[in-house]
Amino acid sequence: MGAETREVDLPNLEKGLTAYYLINSVEFFSATRKFDGRKYGKKIEEVCGEEVLRRIVRGRHISRKEHKEELYQRALQIKDLIKKEIKQKREFESPQQEAIVALLLTTDRLKGRLGELAGRYDITPQQYNVLRILNGAGDDGIPTLEIMERMIERNPGITRLLDRIAAKKLITRERSSSDRRCQICKISPRGKQVLSEMEDPMQELSQNVMQHLDEQKLKTLISLLAQVRSGM
């Protein structure tokens, strides 16, 4: 049939299974954090089968160890090495296309790091973003729609997102005295506590991610990204 057999060198393949379980467990655990029990009355851990619970527990354990051991990040590195070993490299059609792919890959990797960190505090990156917005708004709070406008990643399901955060008692909501149709959101003492606990780990993550760039390169990166956004 025209097939050809060739010998290949895959020195990192033996590490693939270990990397798979690490990545699968952490991402499975992160994905299940949205099932907080508000909609169905119980948390997923209370109703799931043994295999699902096993994955959740394993993912939670790995996530909590990530701050010191970086098991998830090391597994991602192994995944990238194996991908490079088994895939043929193709040239991009244009520098613009290569830049877009690089941005998407970087965004995906960064979202993974943020998701892992936020997951340790039983929240998602979007929920963290909301808490930061409300904390900056002060004691007066801000309307629901204004939160959506300020978010880094726009979420059309903002009401459901706020429902989940409120269920964790991280925010409070009340009707505006001047417009009963408007709901004012404020960060709760518990929400401020979560932000305080996350402050040092988040700062460490930021420094770790950008450690290869000096101050001038960071300023250039910020400027270039702003130029890209301005053209959209």
Pick 40 or 109 by higher pLDDT.
Answer: 109
Sequence ranges of the domains in the chain: 9-90, 116-232
Q: Which of 11-20, 117-126, 185-194 has the lowest mean pLDDT?
A: 11-20
Pick 39 or 93 by higher pLDDT.
Answer: 93
At 35, is the pLDDT very low, low, confident or very high (cuts 50, 70, 90)? Answer: low
At 186, is the pLDDT very low, low, confident or very high (cuts 50, 70, 90)? Answer: very high
pLDDT of 180 above 60: yes
Q: Which of 5-19, 113-127, 175-189, 193-207 has the lowest mean pLDDT?
A: 5-19
Pick 30 or 127 by higher pLDDT.
Answer: 127
At 5, is the pLDDT very low, low, confident or very high (cuts 50, 70, 90)? Answer: low
* Mean pLDDT, residues 25-49: 73
At 188, is the pLDDT very low, low, confident or very high (cuts 50, 70, 90)? Answer: very high
Q: What is the predicted pLDDT for the residue at 68? A: 60
201-228 pLDDT tens trace: 999 999 988 888 899 999 999 999 999 8
pLDDT of 9 above 70: no
* Mean pLDDT, residues 85-103: 71
3-state secondary structure the chain: CCCCCCCCCCCCHHHHHHHHHHHHHHHHHHHHCCCCCCCCCCCHHHHCCHHHHHHHHHHHHHHHHHHHHCHHHHHHHHHHHHHHHHCCCCCCCCHHHHHHHHHHHHHHHHHHHHHHHHHCCCCCHHHHHHHHHHHHHCCCCEEHHHHHHHCCCCCCCHHHHHHHHHHCCCEEEEECCCCCCCEEEEECHHHHHHHHHHHHHHHHHHHHHCCCCCHHHHHHHHHHHHHHHHCC
Predicted TM-score (pTM) of this structure: 0.61
Q: What is the predicted pLDDT for the residue at 135? A: 93
Pick 51 or 204 by higher pLDDT.
Answer: 204
Asked: is 116-232 a CATH 3.40.50.300 domain? The reply is no
At 43, is the pLDDT very low, low, confident or very high (cuts 50, 70, 90)? Answer: confident
